[in-house]
Amino acid sequence: MWLPSALLTGIGVSLIMPILGGAAVQNLPPTKLAVGSGVNQAIRQFGTVLGVSLTFAILGDAPSAVAPFHGIYLLMIFSGLSVTLLSLGLRARAPGAPREFAQPHISFE
């Protein structure tokens, strides 16, 4: 029973992770690109820590028992459905003209 859900989770994560980094900094000016990337990575790491902590809090002291994993799967299902429903309310922006950013003057004199 765990293999199909693990495969779906792995496929989903592998499809979304490369896109998230670019989407997080898509509309940032070049001078803020490093800060935006750093904030994105920090939030991603925080989410990972929170997820692992919740998993072990639900599992408790019985990692070999199967029953505690049902709570984890229910949490994953609830979280996934919640994010899906919340994202349905997001509106896509119409593509506009690319923004022009002022290029810093660099002199090597």
Classify the C-alpha dihedral 47-50-52-55 as positive or negative.
negative
Give the chain's largest Cα–Cα span. 70
CB 25 within 8 A of CB 33: yes
What value does the mean pLDDT of the chain take? 81
15-22 long-range contacts (CB < 8 A, ≥24 apart) are: 20/44
Reply yes or no on whether the pLDDT at 95 is more than 60.
Answer: yes
Q: What is the pTM of this model?
A: 0.55
> What is the predicted pLDDT for the residue at 17?
84
Q: What's the number of CA atoms in the CB half-sphere (13 Å) around residue 49?
A: 6
Q: Please give the structure tokens belonging to residue 46.
A: 């925080």
Over residues 20-29, the pLDDT tens digits come to 888 888 888 8
- Express as a percent the part of the chain with pLDDT over 90: 13
Task: Determine the average pLDDT of the residues in 92-106.
Answer: 68
